[in-house]
Amino acid sequence: MYKKNHAAPSSDATTGSSTVVTKVTPKLGLLGVVAIGIGGMVGGGIFAVLGTAVAYAHGGTPVAFLFSGIIALLTAYSYAKLSVTYPSQGGTVSYIDRAFGVDLLTGAVNLMLWLSYLVTIALYASAFGSYGTTFFSNTPSSWLKHVIISMGIILPTLINLFNADIVSKAETFIVVIKIALLAVVIVAGAGYVDIPRVSPENWSDPLSLIAAGMVIFVAYEGFELIANTAQEVREPERTLPRAFFSSVIIVVILYILVALVTVGSVSPDKVAEAKDYVLAVAAEPALGHTGFTLVAVAALLATFSAINATIYGNARLGFSLAKDGELPEILERKVWSRPVYGVLLTAGLSLFLANLVDLTAIAIMGSAGFLIIFAAVNAANVKLAAETGGNRIIASLGFLACLCALAVLIYHTSEDNAHALWIILVMVVVSFLFELVYPRISGRKLSF
């Protein structure tokens, strides 16, 4: 049985420690932390979901990115307050557990976080496959795409098993490439924007605009990684809030500009034809085939590094949850000083999702999962406002915005993509059933 515990478990998603928080000498300044937030958001998300956004919102795609960006910004407020007050490498998990104790509900939310990261790996891998096939033919066979998708997960898995530092050492370089190429696409493509294509008469209806913003909300997932750096930040009271808000605002502006150039310079027919790799197509009017190739290469690098980093992080999140008794004991066993079983399970489930579920459905699943998790974080900030000094009205707005967005997403998905809705429901039900049944059949006690 779960025991309600209002003491804060200092879960460490990196080391798996669930007892003593190690004092770390602060070394990260504002620019370094902002880079982490931007790198987390501009991972593989924008390359994967841009075409889906345009398919839903049409000329209103920039507005859809603005809608989802506002929810990200409200949630960033809660993360800023919580991370300053409770600096922990456990981040999201530690805030939810501290606010509500550890019971069936919080256990299910923590498991949903773990599952949502699986979904993001599948999303990045699906995008990796879409951009990868562009190097072979204009009409690649489906089996080739599945091979590339699978290699996009298998290769990072091997890296995580044998030398996880290979890609992480190049991460800063990859982030710079991504941002630089997106900037080139924006600047070069600005002169090719056909204004009538982004005018209100070409927008989808208001409900579809909001739904489009929620489907692509997963593109903003990543700013929460800043919370995991709280113990390593200089002057955290000043640096963390500035980093959260700066990184989200910068990415909102970046996404809106990318959406403007894409919708304004690529015909609707071309968007429909190349939905899964539309960002590369958006580079063609100004930069020709060279631009297409450069963006495709950047997309491969971005999604590959995002898969590698997410496998690394999720295996260690699973390790941490297993040490606390919330996941099977096998996930806390290490081989070669690495959580091998966690890496293999993460990779296996991600392979299953990426090869059996289409990209749009995966994006919907990921967005739904993070809307639920971010609603919980905003609720935690409401409950802990007396300690965090947070404004309950802003935190409540974030909570309600997440719930309303989730409701719109579910309604629109039920009308447009019932298959994806069933998968979301399965993910939620599995989380609750696992947390309900596992402690009883395993005999494990939760430890904090």
pLDDT digits (tens, 9 = 90+) for 60-94: 999 999 999 999 999 999 999 999 999 876 788 88
Could you tell me if residue 13 is inside a domain?
no
Residues of the chain scoring pLDDT < 70: 1-26, 43, 89, 137-141, 163-172, 334-338, 442-448
pLDDT at 79: 95
pLDDT at 1: 37
Q: Is 244 helix (H, G, I), strand (E, B) or coil?
A: helix
- The tokens describing 19, both together, are 């007892």
Question: What CATH number corresponds to the domain at position 250?
Answer: 1.20.1740.10
Looking up tokens 């002169």, which residue turns up? 191
Could you tell me if residue 110 is inside a domain?
yes
pLDDT tens, position by position, 241-281: 999 999 999 999 999 999 999 999 888 888 878 888 888 99
Could you tell me if residue 23 is inside a domain?
no
Decide if 427 contacts 434 (C-beta within 8 A).
Answer: no
pLDDT at 154: 93
- Domains of the chain: total: 1
pLDDT at 5: 37
Q: 58: exposed, middle or buried (C-beta count within 10 Å: 0-12, 13-18, 19+)?
A: buried
Instruction: Write the single-letter amino acid at 84.
Output: V
Residue 253: which domain range? Answer: 30-439
> Distance (Å, rounded) from C-alpha 254 to C-alpha 393?
28
Decide if 343 contacts 161 (C-beta within 8 A).
Answer: yes
Could you tell me if residue 265 is inside a domain?
yes
Could you tell me if residue 288 is inside a domain?
yes
Could you tell me if residue 445 is inside a domain?
no
Could you tell me if residue 256 is inside a domain?
yes
Q: Which of 223, 279, 230 is nearest to 251 (CA)?
A: 223
Q: Is 338 helix (H, G, I), strand (E, B) or coil?
A: strand
Residue 23 DSSP code: P
* Phi, psi of 404, rounded to the nearest 5 degrees: -65, -40
Could you tell me if residue 7 is inside a domain?
no
> Distance (Å, rounded) from C-alpha 389 to C-alpha 314?
31
